[in-house]
Structure 1
Amino acid sequence: MSINSVPTTDQLPVVVIGAGPVGLAAAAHLVERGIEPLVLEAGPSAGTAVRDWVHVRLFSPWSEITDPAAEKLLAPTGWTRPDGSAYPTGGDWAERYLQPLADVLGDKVRYGATVAGVARAGRDRIVDSGRDEQSFTVHILPADGREERISARAVIDASGTWSTPGPLGADGLPALGEKSSSRHLTYRVPDLGDPAVRARYAGKRTAVVGSGASAFTALACLADLAEDEPGTHAVWILRRGITGSTFGGGEADQLPARGALGLRAKAAVEAGHASAATGFRTQAVERDGDRLVLVDEDGRRLDPVDEVIVLTGFRPDLSFLSEIRLGLDDRLQAPTALAPLIDPNVHSCGTVYPHGVNELSHPEQGIYLVGMKSYGRAPTFLAMTGYEQVRSITAALAGDHEAAERVELTLPETGVCGGAGLFEEPENAEQAAGGCCSAPSTLQIGIDTPATSPGGC
């Protein structure tokens, strides 16, 4: 192609936003299909978000967190797949799999490239004429601050939700006083192996807000700290009551490490290292000297705490997609065809099935949200699900529609009883006891980001 020629849409790369597990898997599948990928990563290395929780152990083993196409790409380099039965930490995942994969992709991965906007070339959101024939234009802000435009034939957004955690306020907005009290709040599971972080919580009274696996992890870690540091105590803030399924599936969980994590959280409560405040929907944070007092919507006030760990889930950042025509569910902010399959308000008992390009398509052709971002505000996800998503999408981009619509993933059929995200109490005792399934259990496709297991403190 001469220097003055204009590339056709098919000659342009597929831009992948995010060099995390699903974004890098998308790139590997594109390479396998003979399609040029360009991965744009805002951070300085692969798995930037994963590196924020290097101390946390996944409750999915190695056999479930590596992608087949990625393994094929890595094999000629001498890379050896870790023991499939072992449970890695976030640090292990980043260093032993994600970074080597990004290194193999070479200049197909660009670091320090923040995506500021995605649009159709020459067409804003309103314009219909010639829209589908136009390439995408991706606006990026490189680390040096100079704006840049990249043309793409398609865009796969695997940027995740890690950068936008849910607030303390039960109405989805920051609680009154939350921002001004930020010095005493964190929205991540703390690394108590770090001496400075450990000192922040040792001998202190800490509120843990949330009901998922991340909250379980924080409770278990604080309980371990309490064994060594007298006066350490956790106050578990729950918007619901405690039922038979609150602590997950226990020994019945088909992800054994996830079940064990729930049992550790339960043990922390039973041992007196943690107490629970149930039916508490935080509306305000007030100051009591150097301590904080949480106030709920009915005016109930808890005893003062020193620190607050807010683990109320995540939500997608859609701001840079404002000129793209997305079809999103008005509650979950997930693709409209996918939302009914994952909505925790509906699926009190059932399964979430593997899905691909059909469930992930939007009115705007050629744009796909994948990985955690595809789930919107739904709190549960497995890496295997993301790998299946990008396998299907890349097959469709290659014109292999039969492969795109074929399901190549089988997930364990663990029942869903009182899954994360349900707001009110169960309507009857059978649901409270998890009686809709053979045993109390957590979501079938189910991890709070990150997927955690015992030993992650």
Structure 2
Amino acid sequence: MIESLSRLPVAVIGAGPVGLATAAHCLERGLPVKVYEAGAAVAANVRDWGHVRLFSPWEFNIDPAARRILLATGWSEPPADGYPTGHELVEAYLAPLAAAPEVAAIVETGVRVHAIGRHGIDKVISRGRETRPFVLAATDGQGRARRDLARAVIDASGTWASPNPAGANGLPAAGEADLEDRITYRVPDVLERERGVYAGKTTLVVGGGHSAANVLLDLARLAEDAEGTVILWATRGSDLTRLYGGGANDKLAARGALGSNLRALVEGGRVRLTKGFAVTGVKPEGGKLLVEGETCCGPRVLGPVDNLVAATGQRPDLALTRDLRLDLDPWLEGARALAPLIDPNLHSCGTVYPHGHRELAHPEPGFYTAGIKSYGRAPTFLMMTGYEQVRSIVAALDGDLAAADAVQLTLPETGVCSTSRREYGCCGEPAPDPRTASCCGQAA
């Protein structure tokens, strides 16, 4: 006999910043809630990039409902203008939040949810779906399978565990799968834990986002006292305006400095940049790696290199929700209604319009995607966006549509925003006049 839906918990997948914020909002509204975390401790993904410093200060990294729970425990809030590392975010905020008695009672670690469906019916059946509880197929820390029921599901599992390959077409480049144990798909700790791997070596970083920038800046610091450290950088695109950023015009000063400092390294010759390089292959050579690519000037090979860091972003794991009715944007793989607001093909500045439960819902009643996973493959997510998303979703689940629809999201401006994208040639120069030159600037 199945319990009444109203007595079942809201299931939250992932105990990272957005998942724990979801729990806080459910607790404040008196909604039963259960949080599932695959890692051995909360915020497992954040701990993996714990050495990286955020470019958003504390004032933007703490959810309001979570703050209220923490203050009731006697917690001391970090200074609003400080910039935490991932480890500091966990130690000063997420771990204390998870330890608060009411939160600790509803978070379970070491439990991986593999699939989600509806009790007693499959994806094809339409009639009465909203009356059926969700079924979560999970495995606990001892490898035991179980089935849990939920009235609603909020997927805040993120995308960190699903990195994109180095291959420019979205598939692993030729030879990449065979060499994946020699390729890093995360942000390595080159200054401390993995210093010995990178000091005095040649490293190629592939990618044009903030993760790539962090790796490059750390490698440059390493090169200051580790003789022989050589830094190569390859980007698929040729217009780096968004990454270099708005400098002093960026409302997040650390984000502006990230781009400005990286640009200075390139212009000063400390980082050797190859723009417009689409990775097509990786092959070993004498204990090192050669990285093959295409440009509009023809094939090119970078290397040999000792290390290859594929900072090429992440993608959502769609296997988890294969048996649910989702409405996903066909290229971003995020919520379809949200996609036009965040599509990097349309928005050069990374700004986002306010959005909430309506944009994040799917044809599957009671299921929502929140946090960075709601953005699919788009790279512009900020933590405070996720906090407002789940505030709206939880209000909707509680039947408070007035609060759910009153979405307010004011994000710090990047200082870089235009409605038209300038076209660039493959070698990083403005695209030439096709009447007088080829793509490499040679006379036609």
TM-score (normalised: structure 1): 0.89
Pairwise mapping of residues 101-180 of structure 1 onto structure 2 (< 5 A)?
A: 101-104=97-100, 105-180=103-178
**Corresponding residue for residue 11 of structure 1:** 7
In the alignment, is the contact (CA less than 8 A) between 1:354 and 1:411 conserved in 2? no
In the alignment, is the contact (CA less than 8 A) between 1:418 and 1:426 conserved in 2? no
* Counterpart residue type for residue 305 of structure 2: V
**Corresponding residue for residue 341 of structure 1:** 341
**Corresponding residue for residue 59 of structure 2:** 63
After superposition, the C-alpha distances for 1:263-312 in whole angstroms (9 at most, x for unaligned) are: 22122223322101111100000111111111113431123111011101
Q: Alpha-carbon deviation of 1:407?
A: 1.8
After superposition, the C-alpha distances for 1:193-240 in whole angstroms (9 at most, x for unaligned) are: 325x11111111110001111111111111111111111111110112
**Corresponding residue for residue 451 of structure 1:** none
**Corresponding residue for residue 320 of structure 2:** 320
Q: Alpha-carbon deviation of 1:129?
A: 2.2
Q: 2:226 aligns with which of 224, 229, 242?
A: 229
SS at match of 1:80: coil
In the alignment, is the contact (CA less than 8 A) between 1:25 and 1:70 conserved in 2? yes
Greater shift in the superposed pair: 299-308 or 334-343:
299-308
**Corresponding residue for residue 437 of structure 1:** none
Q: Alpha-carbon deviation of 1:128?
A: 1.4
In the alignment, is the contact (CA less than 8 A) between 1:350 and 1:415 conserved in 2? no
Q: Alpha-carbon deviation of 1:418?
A: 7.6
**Corresponding residue for residue 98 of structure 1:** 94
Mapped partners of 2:242, 2:77: distance in 1: 35
SS at match of 1:58: coil
TM-score (normalised: structure 2): 0.91
In the alignment, is the contact (CA less than 8 A) between 1:216 and 1:264 conserved in 2? no
Q: 1:30 aligns with which of 22, 26, 36?
A: 26
**Corresponding residue for residue 402 of structure 2:** 402
Q: 2:260 aligns with which of 263, 286, 298?
A: 263
List gaps (5 residues or longer) in structure 1. Answer: 433-457
In the alignment, is the contact (CA less than 8 A) between 2:241 and 2:416 conserved in 1? no
Pairwise mapping of residues 345-360 of structure 1 onto structure 2 (< 5 A)?
A: 345-348=345-348, 351-360=351-360
In the alignment, is the contact (CA less than 8 A) between 1:351 and 1:415 conserved in 2? no
Mapped partners of 2:71, 2:350: distance in 1: 38
Mapped partners of 1:379, 1:74: distance in 2: 30
Asked whether 1:209 is paired with 2:206, we answer yes
Mapped partners of 1:263, 1:20: distance in 2: 30
SS at match of 2:403: helix
Mapped partners of 1:157, 1:265: distance in 2: 34
After superposition, the C-alpha distances for 1:375-433 in whole angstroms (9 at most, x for unaligned) are: 000011111110000000000000000000002332234455489xx997389x9x99x
Asked whether 1:370 is paired with 2:370, we answer yes
Mapped partners of 1:94, 1:37: distance in 2: 22
Q: Alpha-carbon deviation of 1:184?
A: 2.5
Greater shift in the superposed pair: 164-173 or 266-275:
266-275
Greater shift in the superposed pair: 270-279 or 198-207:
270-279
**Corresponding residue for residue 435 of structure 1:** none
* Counterpart residue type for residue 136 of structure 1: F
In the alignment, is the contact (CA less than 8 A) between 1:17 and 1:159 conserved in 2? yes
Q: 2:38 aligns with which of 30, 38, 42?
A: 42
Mapped partners of 1:272, 1:140: distance in 2: 51
* Counterpart residue type for residue 78 of structure 1: G
Mapped partners of 1:113, 1:216: distance in 2: 33
In the alignment, is the contact (CA less than 8 A) between 1:232 and 1:273 conserved in 2? no
**Corresponding residue for residue 381 of structure 2:** 381
Asked whether 1:272 is paired with 2:274, we answer no
Q: Alpha-carbon deviation of 1:243?
A: 5.1
SS at match of 1:228: coil
**Corresponding residue for residue 295 of structure 1:** 292
List gaps (5 residues or longer) in structure 2. Answer: 432-444
After superposition, the C-alpha distances for 1:25-71 in whole angstroms (9 at most, x for unaligned) are: 00000011110110000001111000001111111111100011011
Q: Alpha-carbon deviation of 1:175?
A: 0.8
SS at match of 1:303: strand
In the alignment, is the contact (CA less than 8 A) between 1:167 and 1:310 conserved in 2? yes
SS at match of 2:41: coil
**Corresponding residue for residue 424 of structure 2:** 425
In the alignment, is the contact (CA less than 8 A) between 2:245 and 2:415 conserved in 1? no
In the alignment, is the contact (CA less than 8 A) between 2:35 and 2:107 conserved in 1? yes
- Going from structure 1 to structure 2, the CA distance change for 1:93 and 1:172 (only over 3 Å counts) comes to same
**Corresponding residue for residue 249 of structure 2:** 252
* Counterpart residue type for residue 309 of structure 1: V
After superposition, the C-alpha distances for 1:358-390 in whole angstroms (9 at most, x for unaligned) are: 110101110000000000000111111100000
Mapped partners of 2:223, 2:325: distance in 1: 51
Q: Alpha-carbon deviation of 1:252?
A: 1.6
SS at match of 1:300: strand
In the alignment, is the contact (CA less than 8 A) between 1:161 and 1:372 conserved in 2? yes
**Corresponding residue for residue 393 of structure 1:** 393
Q: Alpha-carbon deviation of 1:187?
A: 1.1
Pairwise mapping of residues 439-450 of structure 1 onto structure 2 (< 5 A)?
A: none
* Counterpart residue type for residue 296 of structure 1: G
- Going from structure 1 to structure 2, the CA distance change for 1:27 and 1:423 (only over 3 Å counts) comes to farther
Mapped partners of 2:206, 2:269: distance in 1: 17
In the alignment, is the contact (CA less than 8 A) between 1:9 and 1:153 conserved in 2? yes
Higher relative contact order (CA 8 A, sep 6+): 1
Mapped partners of 1:378, 1:93: distance in 2: 23
SS at match of 2:300: coil
Mapped partners of 1:303, 1:386: distance in 2: 40
SS at match of 1:251: helix
